[in-house]
Structure 1
Amino acid sequence: MPYGTFGTTQYKIGSGALDCLAELKGERVGLVVDTGIMGALDLEPRIAELLEDAEAYEYLCTIPGEPTRELLEGPIKACQEFEPTWLVAIGGGATMDSAKVLWLFYELPHYTWEQACQLFAVDPFPGKCKMIAVATTSGTGSETTCCAMADKTAEHFAMILAPQVRPTYAVLDYDLLQSLPKSVIAFSGMDALSHAVGASTITWANELTRTVAIAAATATIENLVDSYNGDQGARQRMAVAATLAGQAIDNSNCGLAHSVDQPGGEFRIPHGLAQAIGVPPVMELSRPQPAYVRLAHQVGFSGGDEEVTDALIEKIRQMCRDMDVPLCYKDAGVDEGTYMARVPAWIEETLANPSLDSHGYKATREDLEKLYRDLYYGIG
């Protein structure tokens, strides 16, 4: 009979966990970093100290913002020439995804982009290198996933899905989270919530995956606003919640909110904000869901299934209000006419998305027409 699986990375976790880099004695270490984070936390001197016993280390990639195929070509070549035995990514999802791309093309230098982006069809790695992902935000979960967004542009959209690029180690160092901007906390946290809620509804998720997803969603609902308001304990718990949400999507799939997030990319809306806008309308559309009821009870609501689902959706909307996060694209400043003109194309893209079949609710064309309206105007 069919059976489920659950895979994840190994963890170094707690205050000072970054010190594990000192264990890379005699290794060749290639660094992929977010320069903004490095500067804000003054990490360069600390990295130099931690890697003083490495054979060599080199900064291979310092791309600001989201990667593209063109921007990654130089770092890919630099990585192949440096020949690292370890890649270390320090930053958020874009940084970790960039490192995964370098890793793939270093292990398989003969590969084309087309081969790299064949989902779950990448050849085994020879084993030249391992990867450490140091997460400095609490949202994407990329430190524990086998996914890398290499290019989100319409011209060269490139996504890698391959177990080979799941990091060898994930590092959650609470000390790196103390000075996060409030907008980053809010948006990345809502991305984590979208991962967790969505994964809990995937039809082929096994019970372990679903339990991890609901635990991640519960912890996010309980801690995100407090983290936003400066509670360091809540910020630590959010780091755990986000990585659990990453484990959940890595072992199932993202939910419908990620399938209808095209407006975010086209209007340069931060991904986490697009997810904050998307989660409540998607939950409203896809109810009833046993996972929503289970989550509602976990966070303390009681009553009938409809009643607790109502309360859960309103709780998530109130979280957004408490963090000054817009609840619809209209409030985010997106032009109505331009948005509505793109809706027919987005509907076609979503209907063609193979992920649609895995969602707990099978959205129809009519559902999507209403959903895209709700994403723009809000649901109440």
Structure 2
Amino acid sequence: MDRFTIPRDLYYGRGALSRLKQLNGSRAMLVCGAAARQSGFLRRAEGFLQEAGMLVRPFVCTPGGPTLALALTGAKAMQEFKPGWIVALGGEESISAAKAMWAFYEDPGLTPRAFLEEGRLPLLRRQARMAAAPAGGGGEAALGGAAFLLDPAQGRRHLLRHPVLAPDMAIIDPDLAAPCSGTILARGGMAALSQALEAMFHGQASLAYPLALHAACVIFDKLQPAAGGDVAARTMLHEGQCMAGLAFSNAPAGLCTAMAAELCVAFYKPLPTGIAEAVCLPLTLSRDPGAKNAAARICASLGYPGECLEALRSRIILLRGGLDMPESLQAFGIEEAEFLSKLPDLCKRLSHTSILPKNRCPTPKEAEELFRQAYYGS
């Protein structure tokens, strides 16, 4: 039996952030990144929550991704403040961090090992509920029951996937994505495209499939004009990315996600997730089961001519180039000596990744071929 879980309430459209003033509660913790503070959206969200009669405490995430240390620090702040609502505002990093903070807040005795390696989750919503408002740049990916957490000390990027991690409320307000630069939109859009395609590859019989198909078509059609500043395209892209995130959290992850996870840990800080996924996605298409059928549906919907899988691969490469994104890790600027020194460990980790079922993990030799293609270009 399968399960399909999304936030109970989704509010979307311009001005949807104002829905925060209708929440019931006495205290709210606002988790966001520096960009939300600089753009003024933190102040707006804080004002709406205060209109609801709440005492509000902001928690601004430090740069460097949603790390285990950040999650534990945030959970400690929550245990002191005792919020009844956790409101995550911003990109995937802020929303993922807020979800991890939420888990450690609900169960102070939860250990990182139990949470990250054993998959143990506390009974959530005993102390707080969660609302999430993505602000472009990949935050849409965390609207469902998915999140990721970095543990640089262990060299791990954990993908957390469980229905209970889906927020109680999602706010999809295109105004939040308006300040995003074209570069940030491009990276978030390519990551969302990867998520939509993987949901199609592995969820042909699931409720996630139509969401993923529509999301992929929207991203192919609207990402480039949105990155160029087209306001209408940005609105449609924001909603399409949210659909991709909801589909991704309700379908198995694929090889592109697994490769990007290992690369983003190996080259921690310099390599954004969107760049890693944009490089890896064309390389992994032919290796994912279900890709051919998914490619046929997308090509039929968008009118792409030619053999479907190759046509889809060509369109991904064309879109990536149109967004001025690097075609390889070498073109991104990672030094060859550093790459080669980390290659053996990358291959070992990918061949044993917990993101994929064991029967779909590449062998060390296959992993080396993939990583070399990602570095030097296919």
The two structures have a TM-score, normalised by structure 1, of 0.90
Identity %: 27
Deviation of the 1:67 alpha carbon? 2.6
Q: Which amino acid aligns with 2:273?
A: H
CA RMSD of aligned residues (A): 2.3
Matched, 1:293 2:296: yes
Q: Residues 296-375 of structure 1 correspond to what in structure 2 (within 5 A)?
A: 296-303=299-306, 307-357=307-357, 363-375=362-374
Contact map agreement 2:17 2:133 (CA 8 A) in 1: yes
Instruction: Write the distance in 2 (CA, Å) between the matches of 1:122 and 1:43.
Output: 29
Q: Secondary structure at the match of 2:331?
A: coil
Match of 1:215 in 2: 214
Q: How does 1:258-273 map to 2 (within 5 A)?
A: 258-261=257-260, 262-267=262-267, 268-273=270-275
Give the length in aligned residue pairs: 372
Q: Does the aligned pair in 2 maintain the 1:140–1:192 contact within 8 Å?
A: no
Cα distance in 1 for partners of 2:250, 2:118 equals 15
| 2:104 equivalent to 1:105 | yes
3-state SS of 1:54 partner:
coil
**Aligned to 1:8, which of 6, 9, 34?**
6
Deviation at 1:256, TM superposition (A): 0.6
Which whole-Å deviations, capped at 9, do the CAs of 1:37-71 have from their partners, x for residues lacking one? Answer: 22123541562255234231111343334132223
Inter-partner Cα distance in structure 1 for 2:369 and 2:78: 47
Contact 1:134 1:143 in 2 (8 A): no
Whether the 8 Å contact between 2:352 and 2:358 is mirrored in structure 1 is: no
Aligned in 2, Cα 1:312/1:328: closer, same or farther, shift over 3 Å?
same
Cα distance change, pair 285–206 in 1 and its aligned pair in 2 (3 A): closer
Distance 1:109 1:362, change over 3 A: closer
Q: For 1:179-215, what per-residue CA distance to the aligned partner results, in whole angstroms no more than 9, with x for missing partners?
A: 211110010100001111122212x653322232222
Q: Distance in 2 between matches of 1:277 and 1:369?
A: 15
Aligned partners of 2:34 and 2:139: how far apart in 1? 18
Partner amino acid, structure 1, of 2:253: C
C-alpha distance in 1, partners of 2:357/2:48? 50
For residue 246 of structure 1, what is the aligned residue in structure 2? 245
**Amino acid paired to 2:11:** K
What secondary structure sits across from 2:317 in the alignment? helix
Measure the CA separation in 2 of the matches of 1:89 and 1:123: 19
Map of 1:90 onto structure 2 = 89
- Aligned to 1:293, the other structure's residue is in SS state helix
In the superposition, relative to structure 1, how do residues 350 and 205 fare at CA in structure 2: closer, same or farther (>3 Å)? farther
On the 8 A contact 1:4/1:206 being kept in 2, the answer is no
2:53 aligned residue: 54
- Look up the equivalent residue of 1:4 and give its one-letter code: D
Q: CA deviation at 1:243?
A: 1.3
Deviation of 1:13 after TM superposition, in Å, equals 0.6
- TM-score of the superposition, structure 2-length normalised? 0.90
Code of the aligned partner of 2:323: M
1:30–1:57 CA contact under 8 A, matched in 2: yes
- Three-state SS of the structure 1 residue aligned to 2:88 is strand
Counterpart for residue 283 of structure 2: 281
Retained in 1: the 8 A contact 2:353–2:361? no
Task: Provide the rounded CA distance (Å) in 2 between the counterparts of 1:278 and 1:363.
Answer: 14
Unmatched segments (≥5 aa) in structure 2: none
Cα 1:46–1:291 change in 2 (3 A) is closer
- Kept in 2, the 8 Å contact 1:198–1:254? The answer is yes
Is the 1:144–1:247 contact (alpha carbons within 8 Å) kept by the matching residues of 2? yes
Q: Distance in 1 between matches of 2:179 and 2:105?
A: 34
**Structure 1's 208 and 72: CA in aligned 2 closer, same or farther, altered over 3 A?**
closer
Structure 1 unaligned spans of 5+: none
Local SS of the residue matching 1:186 = helix
1:249-273 CA distance string (max 9 Å, x none):
2111221111112233322211111
Letter paired with 1:188: G
Query: SS of the counterpart of 2:71?
Result: helix
CA 1:213 to 1:358, structure 2 compared with 1: closer, same or farther past 3 Å?
farther
* Secondary structure of the corresponding residue to residue 141 of structure 1: helix
Moved more, 235-244 or 221-230: 235-244
- SS of the aligned residue for 2:36 comes to helix
Runs of 4+ in structure 1 deviating by more than 6 angstroms, as ranges, are: none
Deviation, structure 1 residue 369: 2.6
Give the deviation of 1:286 after TM superposition. Answer: 4.6
* Shift in alpha-carbon separation, 1:139–1:300, aligned structure 2, 3 A: farther
Kept in 2: contact 1:103–1:165 (CA 8 A): no
Secondary structure of the residue that 1:15 maps to in structure 2?
Answer: coil
Once the two structures are superposed, residues 159-190 of structure 1 have per-residue CA deviations (whole angstroms, 9 ceiling, x without a partner) of: 34433221111111111111211110010100
- Paired amino acid for 1:69: L
Judge conservation of contact 2:157–2:265 (CA < 8 Å) in 1: no
| Residues 201/363 of structure 1: CA separation in 2 closer, same or farther (3 Å cut) | farther
Q: Is residue 30–residue 58 contact of structure 1 (8 Å, CA) maintained in 2?
A: yes
Change (3 A) 1:212 1:18: same
The aligned counterpart of 2:196 is 196
1:308 Cα offset (Å): 2.6
